Structure 1
C-alpha cells in the first residue's frame, strides 16, 4: 500500500450541497464520481441536502457507498434565506444551505468517528468545517462563484443583490482558501482567476482537477436516437441542461430569439430542442415559436443527443467545465459553442468542435460551412469522441486527488 492510501485509511467526511445521486446534472455528476473515488481509500461519511422526491428516493444508493450519512431537506424559502443573510451579513448562498441539524451531525460524526480528512464539495458547505478541526481539509470549489454573481450584476440583473452576493462570496472564498490544505478548481482558467482574487495567493494551495465523462455510458451506439426527432426533417439542434439555471436559460433564449431565425432562413425546417428539467416560464412561453420544442425533463438525455445534427452550447456566462459539452463530444456529435462554454476543455477548433463568438450570423455560418461540406460533421464528431477518450476519463481526472488527501505537494508528486 502506498503512502497516499495509508494516510487516509481511517475515515473521510464528505460534505456536498446536493445528494450526489442520481448523477444527472453537472454538480451531481462531479460529486458522484468524487464520492466513489474517495470510497476507494477509506470509509466515507456523507452529509448533504435533498431538494426533491428524486433526491430522497436515492438514499438507499447513498447508503451502499457511505459508512454513514445525513440527508437534510433543503426547504428554506429563498426570501427567508435572503432575510437571514442580510441580518447576518452573510451571502445568501450560505444561509440557504445552513442547517442546525446538519451542523450537529457533522460535530457528532467528528466526535465519534476517526475522521482524518474533510472533503468539501462546493463553497456553500465550507461553513460546516469546525475551526478547531485538526485534520486535513480539502475543498472543491469547482469554479469561482463570486465571479459568476459579479457577471450577473455587470449584465444588469438584480445589480445590488448580485453585487452584494459576489462581494461576500469572495470574502468566504478567501477564508476557505486559507482554511483548507488544498483548494480545487475545475480548470486552469478558474484556478488562475481565483489566484487573482486572493489577497495572499501564495499562501493558498490551489490545484486543478477537471471534469471527466463516462464514455461507456455516453457512447454513440449506447442508445438509439429519439424517434420523435430523427423521423422529422431538420437539421436538428439540441441544447441540454438544468433549465432553471440562469446561464442555461439565457443561452437557450438567445438561441431561440437570435440564432434559430437566422438558421431557418437558410434551412426552413431547422428545429431547436431544449432538453432538461425545470424550464422557466420564459422558456415555456417560447414553446410555440416556429421550430422550437421545449422538452423539459426526460428519462434519458442520450437519445436526444444522439438525434442531434448539431449540439449547441451558446453560453454567454459560463464557469468551469461544461458537462453538456463533454457528453455531446463523447457521443460523437459535432458541438457548436461559444468561447465561454469551451473554457477548461483543451480541444481544437474545427477539429474537435466549432467555437464561435455569440454572434448569430457568424455562428450560423460556422454550422452551414460544416453541414454543406459532406462528411465534416461526422469527422468532427469522431474526433471529439476520441479526444474525450484520450483526455477526460474520470479515473484519470481524479488521480491527483489521492496525493492531495495524502498531503503531498505537486513538486513531490512530480519528482516521485
Structure 2
C-alpha cells in the first residue's frame, strides 16, 4: 500500500542488541525500517538505555523513548485495583499513549507491530489497519511455572500474573491479524491456551530468531585471556544474569553438574558470563571451579575461549539466543531439552540435548573425552545456523504480514 507507515511498540528500546528480547526487536525494527518509515514508542530501563536515543533516531522516522520508573509495588497495587496484570501496569505511560495518539492522527499508519504483550494496551480499539502481535514467548506459561516452583506469597503473585496475562494474550490474539511466537513449539502452546473458537479463527505462527553468523565468527576474535588462564576443560553459560531462569540454570550447573564433571576432569571450570549477576551467584566466583565474570565488552571472546557450552535451563521459553551464538561460534553445546526447543537441527549432530542431571553430565563428559566428535559438532552447528537461521531469511515473511510490498521498500523514506 503506497504511503503506508508502521508504528512499532516495544517494551524495551531495541538498542543495543545485547540481550535476548533486544536482539530480536533490534533486527525486526531494522528489517521493517527497510520496508517503510517506522515510528517507535519504547521504554528505557536505565540511563544507558536512554542514551540509545541517538541510535534509535537513525533508524526511526520518529520516536518516543520514556524512562520506565514506576516502582514495582506501585505497579502491583494498581494491578490489584484495576484487575490487570502487573506486566501491564508497570508499562503504562500517559506519554506513550499521547505519542501513539498523535502519530496515528498525523501519519498514514497502515500497520502496528506490537513487540511483547506489555505493549498491546496501546493499540486503539478503532485502529483499522493491520496489527501484528509478536508475543515472542508465552509469558503466562512462564509465570505459571514460577508459581509451581515457588513459595508464598510469590506463588500467589505469579499464579495471578499467569492467569491475568493469559487473558491479555487471548485478547491480543483476537485483536491482531497475526500472532507471532519464536518457535513452532511456542506457537502450539499459545494456540492450545486459546478458546476453541480463537484457536481455529486466528492466525498464530512461528517467526524464529535469527543469528548474525558473520559477526559471531570465532576467526574474528582472540580468546578471552582471563578464561584461558583456567587449565580446562572450560564450560560456559552466557545470558542476562538478573533473569531468574538464567540464575537457576547457573546454580544448577555450579551445584549439581560441575562437581560430578570434576570427578573425572579435576581441572574443569564453569564460566558464567553476563550482566548483573546477583550477589549470591557472585559469591560462587573462584570456588570449586566456578567463575562468575559479569558483563563483558565482547561475548565472542569468551565463547572462543570455551571448550563447551552448557545450557541447563529448567524453565525455558522460546529460542535461546545464547544457544544460537554458541553454535555460530562453532562451539559444541550440551543443552537441557527446554534450551533445545525451537532451535531445529538434529540432536546428536548439531548439539546434545538431555533432560536430567545425569544425562547432561554424561553429554558433557562424552564430548570432552571425544575431542574430534566435539569439533565436528561445532562445525556442523555453525554450518546449520549459516544455512538455516540468518536474520534476512527468518524475517522475510514480515512484509506480507504487515500488508507491505517488498518491492516498494522505502520509496517513501
Equivalent residue number for residue 182 of structure 2 = 186
Please provide the CA RMSD for this pair.
1.2
| Contact 2:35 2:404 (8 Å CA) reproduced | no
The aligned runs of 1:199-238 (5 Å cut-off) are 199=195, 200=197, 201-238=199-236
| Contact 2:44 2:65 (8 Å CA) reproduced | yes
For structure 2, the residue ranges without an aligned partner over 5 or more in a row are: 406-413
User: Which residue among 358, 367, 371 is the counterpart of 1:370?
Assistant: 367
Equivalent residue number for residue 108 of structure 2 = 114
Q: CA deviation at 1:138?
A: 0.7
Secondary structure of 1:295's match?
strand
User: Which residue among 254, 257, 261 is the counterpart of 1:256?
Assistant: 254
Distance 1:168 1:274 in 2: 34
| 2:405 aligned with 1:393 | no
Distance 2:278 2:241 in 1: 7
TM-score after normalising by structure 2: 0.95
Q: Are residues 205 and 333 of structure 1, via their aligned partners in 2, closer, same or farther at CA, if it must alter by over 3 Å?
A: same
Distance 1:407 1:203 in 2: 23
Distance 2:119 2:60 in 1: 18
| 2:123 aligned with 1:129 | yes
| 2:151 aligned with 1:151 | no
Q: CA deviation at 1:285?
A: 2.5
Deviations 1:191-238 (A, max 9, x none): 111111001211211121100000011011121110111233111011
Distance 2:48 2:192 in 1: 39
Distance 1:36 1:66 in 2: 9
TM-score after normalising by structure 1: 0.94
The aligned runs of 1:1-400 (5 Å cut-off) are 7=1, 9-157=3-151, 158-199=154-195, 200=197, 201-359=199-357, 361-400=358-397
Secondary structure of 1:250's match?
helix
Deviations 1:37-58 (A, max 9, x none): 1011111000000012221111
Distance 2:399 2:133 in 1: 14
For structure 1, the residue ranges without an aligned partner over 5 or more in a row are: 1-6, 409-416
| Contact 1:233 1:269 (8 Å CA) reproduced | yes
Q: 280-289 vs 342-351, which deviates more? A: 280-289
Q: CA deviation at 1:136?
A: 1.0
Secondary structure of 1:406's match?
coil
Task: Count the aligned residue pairs.
Answer: 401
